[in-house]
Amino acid sequence: MGEEKRTLAEFRATREMVGMTQGMLAQALGVEARSVRRWESPSAPQVPPQDAWDVLDAALTNQQHAVAAALGEVDRIAQEQGTYPENAALPYWTSQEAYDSGHYTGADGYDWRMANATLRTLAYALHERGINVEWSDGPTVPHMAAE
């Protein structure tokens, strides 16, 4: 069987799903932002190069791993307590500065928009487990105690 063709819609959806702007993707690839705009344009579409797909696929994999790790911890706690918690507090970052200054582990080089995209995905998964998500400005969420 041949390789499945990926669509421009999938390209843009993946970029947006991981919280990456066109400019961020362009910077990661060392190209101009207008190149990314052309790859996504329905009026004059160009096929995104494989390295652009690779960057998006890596970001999506990182997001999936982060969500899986967080859900694993929630599931572990639920097993210990015999039930899922009713609520979970999640930060929502308003800027890179807020993320860098308020992130649990300090500045990790991760973009705040990508962190928020991961948190939105996590919130959906928590909701599916019957857990209400309480959002707050990133720096106001209590820091998690290290075990």
What does the domain layout of the chain look like in residue ranges? 8-140
The Cα–Cα gap between 93 and 102 comes to 9
Q: Encode pLDDT of 14-44 as tens digits.
A: 999 999 999 999 999 999 999 999 999 988 7
Handedness of CA 116, 117, 120, 125 (dihedral sign): negative
Tokens of 119: 């948190």
- Alpha helix stretches (DSSP H) within the chain: 8-17, 22-29, 33-40, 50-81, 96-102, 112-128
Poorest-pLDDT segment among 64-68, 72-76, 138-142: 138-142
Band of pLDDT at residue 104, cut at 50, 70 and 90: low
Tokens of 90: 């999640």
The percentage of residues in the chain with a pLDDT greater than 90, rounded to a whole number, is 71
Are residues 11 and 55 in contact, defined by beta-carbon separation less than 8 angstroms? no
- Please tell us whether the domain made up of 8-140 is placed in CATH 1.10.287.70: no
pTM: 0.85
Tokens of 91: 């930060």
